């Protein structure tokens, strides 16, 4: 594959990745609901999905709970998909410069 073909493939990845990141975000929400409820009981408020409080609680609880371990790996999948989407945007910009 030439560089132009690689850039074209990367540029075409954006639209298929949108539903994937939405599904992964929903999965994270479902997997961490019991943990967020426990945190709400302890702190008196329900933390947001993207808060450091939830992320630290997920990291601490992942050794004992399979759902939390799945949520931990789901977050890494979200990060990878987001990185691919960012790569796709830059590839689209490069493709416009090349063509």
Q: Are 58 and 71 in contact (CB under 8 A)?
A: yes
How far is the C-alpha of 14 from the C-alpha of 21, rounded, in Å?
A: 11
The model's confidence at residue 92, banded by pLDDT at 50, 70 and 90, is confident
- In this prediction, residue 23 carries a pLDDT of 92
Mean pLDDT is lowest, of 32-36, 42-46, 91-95, for 42-46
For helices 66-98 and 33-43, the axis angle rounded to 10 degrees is: 110
């Amino acid at each position: 594959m030439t560089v132009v073909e690689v850039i074209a493939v990367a540029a075409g990845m954006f639209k298929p990745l949108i539903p994937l990141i939405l599904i992964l975000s929903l999965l994270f929400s479902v997997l961490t609901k019991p943990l967020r409820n426990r945190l709400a009981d302890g702190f008196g408020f329900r933390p947001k999905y993207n808060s450091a409080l939830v992320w630290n609680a997920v990291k601490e609880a992942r050794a004992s709970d399979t759902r939390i371990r799945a949520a931990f790996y789901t977050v890494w999948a979200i990060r990878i998909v987001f990185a691919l989407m960012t790569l796709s945007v830059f590839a689209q910009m490069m493709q416009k410069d090349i063509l």
